[in-house]
Structure 1
Amino acid sequence: MATARTEHTERRGGTEPGARRVTRRRSETRARLLDAAFTVFAAKGFGRVSIEEVCDAAGYSRGAFYSNFASLDELFFALYRQRADLIAGQVADALAGDTAALDVPASVDRVSEVLLLDLDWLQVKTDFLTHAAREPEVARTLLPHRARLRGAIAERLDRARTPLPAVLGDAGAAAHAVVAAYDGVTTQLLLDKDVDHARAWLKQLLTALLTRDGDPRSP
């Protein structure tokens, strides 16, 4: 006769692998839906996409969609959150260093590369910002993700004690200025599609913002 402990072990052994498979399968389904949605949103725009189009692109039924997302809005926000967190992590990595000192020109180069590589992302992000501007509740959920990007920049500037132009004030204000410069440059980029020009212009703006008199050699 099996003991209570044996029965418990057998039950665990019989259910856990299946549960893991279900969890992994659902995770893979969700990831495929997000990837498909990114492609479709970038091509057509958020307001012109239906759930059916996302499902067709991912190769799933509406049932698979609704087992992961309650609505297209929820999927859109999950997609934004996924990409925004990725970008914030990339920026943090680009600013990371073994020493406290920050090489401003080199860091500006790395950040410019990270922030300007994906035109599809810029189109999706712009759609989401426009959507959030009309929906206060959506805007409130968006704010922490933009704050994370600013926080990654501010933390690095503060840790390095980088001398900043007096007009900017502290590292937090400088981070706001960096993100504002990025937003401005990418608006033009969405129109002319000239990534090389946008990257060069962003580097000039960030260098001017983060160094005294716009000279990276200034103390």
Structure 2
Amino acid sequence: MTRMTREQSRAHTRARLLTVARQHFTRYGYAASSLDRIADEAGFSKGAVYSNFAGKDALFLGVLEEHARVTLAEVLAEVEDAPDIEEAIERIAAWATRSSRLGNWPMLVLEYARVAETEDTFRKQQEKILRAQWKALGRLLLALDDAPDVKPEVLGALIFELTYAPAMSFVSKPRSGDLVRIALRALFGK
């Protein structure tokens, strides 16, 4: 077994902390999650948390950023080889229905916005993460077929926000995919 370099060890620690923090935030919510418990369950000291993150807000933003990266990769993979906008819409609708039922991300983001005593910098970072996700998806769809007067960021926001609207995580009908399908067909004239 080879020894990890300092950079590898730091990356491993950071990844482990993000994994455990994600589990804690989604299970207990932002307010009830503690850095002590996250560090302990990850197998590190609280100092390891602070050597990787400035505090609970920064850890939450790290989790949000990782979630956004993974989610964006999933939806882009669903759509990237779609032959046309109609097929892309169907694939996104199916993804939206599946994704809306996974975890409690909508409620967690709302709780964070409500209870976290964040600096303006953290709110701006959170917004930056979401906007980048929206733009990337919107650009991909608009490359398949232009929608009149729709900016990529707005198109992506529409899809992600319909997918992750809090009610979509528990209502049986309409499903988020149904809403996404209706909105996209209307926008693209399909």
Whether the TM-score (by the shorter chain) exceeds 0.5 is yes
Residue 154 of structure 2 corresponds to residue 207 of structure 1: no
State the 4+ residue runs in structure 1 displaced beyond 6 angstroms.
Answer: none
Q: Does 1:62 align with 2:43?
A: no
Higher helix fraction: Structure 1 or Structure 2?
A: 1
Correspondence for 2:12? 28
Give, in whole Å, the separation in 1 of the partners of 2:96 and 2:141: 16
- Structure 1 unaligned blocks of 5 or more: 1-16
Q: Which amino acid aligns with 1:156?
A: L
1:176 Cα deviation from its structure 2 partner:
3.3
Query: Over aligned residues, Cα RMSD in angstroms?
Result: 2.9
Identify the match of residue 187 of structure 1 among 166, 169, 183: 166
Percent identity over the alignment?
A: 18
> 2-side partners of 1:180 and 1:130: how far apart?
18
**TM-score, normalising length: structure 2:** 0.80
Match for residue 116 of structure 1?
Answer: 100
Query: 1:159-197: CA deviations, max 9, x gaps?
Result: 1115x5x6xx325343333233234xx31145xx35xx2
Taking structure 1 as the reference length, the TM-score comes to 0.71
Provide structure 2 residue ranges, at least 5 long, that are not aligned to the other structure: none
CA contact (8 A) 1:91 1:149 kept: no
Quote the offset at 1:126 in angstroms.
3.1
1:3 counterpart residue number: none
Instruction: Give the equivalent residue in structure 1 for 2:127.
Output: 143
Question: Does the aligned pair in 2 maintain the 1:80–1:128 contact within 8 Å?
Answer: no
Give the aligned residue type for 1:177.
L
Report whether the alignment pairs 1:174 with 2:155. yes
Counterpart CA distance in 2 for 1:82 and 1:189 is 22
- How many pairs does the alignment contain? 187
